[in-house]
């Protein structure tokens, strides 16, 4: 089972308008509302891939009840920890491009955090992979993800960390199996410079692998054995909302079943080359099952090959780098 954690879950509200003009009134053409937060988004992709997934995190108030109800209607199992405050809302205005307003979220008390860690450790006993992603709500210490990583590893689960700022920097020291920053998050955590050099600085802190999502430039994966750049055959444009969460879902699925296509034993420092799509989608639309693109091998390890059927389906160029 894959356990996704959303400590700052949100009720995502999307307004579609013809054009966004500051200091004016707007007629809304359509309204969409559903459970959100990065861990929830990861779980939606995993569920669409028929992976066994469970959502956990912190919710409270009327918005929290709507989050739980939406996941129930979608058929995605969840066990949340309850908090006294009301879960946040995010408002996205779509007018071709997307403008997003993120509320900070409710304050979490020390007792609420203690209770959640107990629930989390219980859930980890049945999990092979844990995905820790998204922002931390007010009241939690910046090392919250480091604590959860240590809890998950104690219970024998592998961990993927997708965070930012201090939550990422402190979480790396707990040695997650994969850290997945985007290019901006990487720069904030490791400082300026070429992406591969910055990723290797992150790798030295503790994770077994670092995978950087670079928008239309694709992905860069770095392990102690080398690095691999994966690019789509053509640059994509449009609203990238949810693309990074789809990447996290694909990586979590590969961690869960690393030897499925080859029968080889799992290796945390040699993630299989199966990059997920970063097809943009508009907020408020349902997440479709991402089709795993095939990889064209270029000095990549033999176990990174995919079968010819997937190779024919879509061509993605993979370039091996040497540190």
H-run or E-run covering 73? helix 61-74
- Give every CB contact of residue 118 below 8 A, 6+ residues apart in sequence: none
Which member of 164, 177, 245, 304 is catalytic? 245
Please give the angle made by the CA atoms of 187, 189 and 195, to the nearest 5 degrees.
35
Closest alpha carbon to 42 in 229, 274, 262, 248: 248
Residue 245 among the catalytic residues? yes
Burial class (CB in 10 A: 0-12, 13-18, 19+), 97: exposed
Picking from 180, 119, 112, 110, the residue whose alpha carbon sits closest to that of residue 151 is 119
What is the rounded end-to-end Cα distance, in angstroms, of the chain?
35
CA distance 37 to 232: 26
Instruction: Kindly list the catalytic residues.
Output: 245
């Amino acid at each position: 089972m894959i356990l996704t954690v959303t400590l700052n879950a949100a009720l995502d509200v999307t307004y579609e308008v013809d054009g966004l003009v500051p200091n004016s009134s707007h007629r809304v053409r359509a309204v969409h509302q559903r459970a959100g937060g990065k861990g929830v988004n990861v779980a939606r992709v995993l569920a669409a891939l028929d992976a066994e997934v469970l959502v956990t995190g912190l919710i409270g108030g009327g918005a929290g009840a709507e989050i739980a109800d939406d996941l129930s209607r979608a058929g995605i199992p969840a066990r949340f920890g309850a908090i006294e405050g009301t879960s946040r809302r995010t408002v996205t205005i779509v007018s071709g491009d997307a403008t997003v307003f993120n509320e900070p979220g409710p304050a979490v008390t020390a007792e609420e955090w203690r209770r959640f860690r107990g629930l989390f450790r219980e859930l980890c006993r049945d999990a092979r992979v844990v995905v820790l992603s998204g922002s931390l709500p007010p009241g939690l210490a910046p090392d919250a993800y480091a604590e959860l990583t240590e809890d998950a590893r104690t219970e024998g689960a592998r961990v993927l960390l997708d965070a930012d700022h201090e939550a990422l920097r402190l979480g790396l020291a707990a040695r997650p199996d994969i850290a997945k920053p985007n290019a901006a998050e990487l720069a904030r955590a490791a400082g300026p410079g070429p992406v591969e050099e910055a990723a290797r600085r992150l790798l030295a802190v503790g994770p077994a692998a670092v995978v950087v999502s670079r928008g239309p430039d694709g992905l860069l994966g770095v392990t102690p054995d080398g690095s691999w750049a994966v690019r789509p055959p053509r640059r994509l444009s449009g609203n990238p909302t949810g693309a990074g969460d789809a990447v996290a879902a694909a990586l979590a699925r590969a961690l869960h079943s690393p030897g499925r296509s080859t029968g080889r034993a799992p290796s945390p420092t040699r993630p299989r080359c199966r990059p997920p799509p970063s097809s943009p989608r508009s907020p408020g639309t349902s997440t479709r099952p991402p089709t795993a693109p095939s990889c064209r091998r270029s000095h990549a390890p033999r176990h990174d090959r995919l079968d010819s059927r997937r190779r024919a389906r879509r061509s993605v160029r993979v370039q091996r780098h040497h540190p």
